[in-house]
């Protein structure tokens, strides 16, 4: 059985304290993964690269800069984006309904897009549209994966889904796992699908007009999103401590390798890819789970 399922018996209030600890650790894990990603990419490119703790330094720097703004609605949307990402993490660690988790994540992304549109720079405007298209493609895949999870366990409550995982889901839902790797690749903003954050095309993309503390909030919620995705991949597909870490490391290396060996496509390319290959993967898996259950 999984590590997480046993903790109500460890010490009093364990079923509240441990989720809170995990919740606090999630952004740290996300930032660490982002730092390791930069280091590994640099080594792949035959250079040294920044230290692994670089994202922490970046955050510290961002929070000590002067605050600039162009209008107040962009600041409100920054708070809303982080708030709902945090809510997604809370629902995840406290094992709520996975469809509600999906919709909270989507709402957080919607606030990111609204933040992008509310600043008047043409780059953030283009970045906002690209982000919307990315949401359209990736959230569809993600929802299908969530549904396959629920149909497989015959329930959508996370606590019961975890209870019912007898064999690691990577065996029952291998194609969904591949789709999760694609989602992870897009979330890590790796080529070929990093169309919103296309630095050479549209500067910073959706976050062009954000600076200082507000940009730091977005970086923090990005790290949180990475942490959430890693936790989902661990919890469902390979919940074992040793094998799970190995699986995460392997997926991370796959994602980084793909990111370093490909170039960016257009938004049409992302659309075509996710609605042919991506949808094929998740639909075949969903149909297989429905038929064989």
> In this structure, are residues 42 and 49 in contact, taking their beta carbons and an 8 Å threshold?
yes
Q: What does the alpha-carbon distance between residue 195 and residue 131 come to, in Å, rounded to a whole number?
A: 8
Rg (CA), the chain: 19
If you search the block for the tokens 């982002």, which residue do you land on?
Answer: 34
Contact 35, 183 (CB under 8 A): no
Q: Can you read off the two tokens belonging to residue 125?
A: 């405007």
Burial tier of 30 (Cβ tally within 10 Å: 0-12, 13-18, 19+): buried
**Does 270 contact another protein by CB under 8 A?**
no
Select from 8, 50, 241, 269 the one that contacts another protein (CB under 8 A).
50
Binding mask 206-235 for another protein (x = CB under 8 A): --xxxxx--x--------------------
Q: Quick one: DSSP state of residue 206?
A: G
Q: Does 236 bind another protein (CB under 8 A)?
A: no
Residue 48 or 242 with smaller CB distance to another protein = 48
Among 120, 246, 250, 261, binds another protein (CB under 8 A): 120
Asked if 44 interacts with another protein (CB under 8 A), we say no
* Choice from 9, 11, 46, 166 touching another protein (CB under 8 A): 46
**Residues forming a β-bridge with 97:** 157
Q: Which is nearer to another protein, 102 or 251 (CB)?
A: 102
61 counts as binding another protein under rule CB under 8 A: yes
Q: Does 45 bind another protein (CB under 8 A)?
A: yes
Residue list 177-196, contact with another protein (CB under 8 A): none
């Amino acid at each position: 059985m999984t590590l997480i399922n046993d903790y109500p018996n460890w010490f009093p209030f364990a079923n509240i304290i441990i989720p809170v600890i995990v919740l606090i650790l999630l952004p740290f894990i996300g930032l660490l993964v982002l730092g390791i990603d930069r280091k590994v990419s640099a080594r792949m490119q035959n250079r040294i690269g920044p230290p692994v703790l670089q994202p922490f330094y970046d955050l510290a720097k961002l929070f000590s800069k002067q605050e600039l703004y162009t209008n107040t609605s962009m600041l409100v949307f920054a708070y809303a984006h982080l708030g709902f990402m945090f809510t997604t993490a809370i629902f995840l660690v406290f094992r709520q309904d996975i469809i509600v988790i999906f919709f909270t994540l989507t709402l957080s992304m919607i606030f990111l897009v609204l933040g992008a549109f509310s600043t008047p720079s043409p780059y953030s405007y283009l970045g906002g549209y690209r982000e919307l298209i990315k949401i359209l493609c990736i959230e569809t895949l993600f929802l299908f994966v969530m549904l396959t999870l629920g149909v497989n366990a015959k329930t959508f409550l996370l606590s019961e889904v975890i209870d019912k995982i007898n064999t690691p889901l990577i065996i029952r839902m291998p194609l969904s796992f591949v789709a999760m790797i694609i989602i992870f690749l897009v979330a890590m903003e790796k080529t070929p699908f990093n169309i919103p954050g296309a630095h050479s095309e549209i500067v910073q993309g959706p976050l062009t007009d954000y600076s200082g503390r507000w940009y730091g909030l977005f970086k923090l919620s990005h790290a949180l999103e990475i942490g959430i995705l890693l936790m989902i991949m661990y919890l469902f597909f390979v919940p074992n401590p040793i094998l799970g870490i190995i699986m995460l490391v392997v997926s991370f290396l796959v994602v980084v390798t793909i990111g370093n060996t490909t170039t960016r496509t257009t938004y049409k390319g992302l659309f075509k890819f996710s609605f042919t290959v991506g949808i094929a993967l998740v639909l075949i898996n969903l149909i297989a789970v429905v038929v064989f259950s």
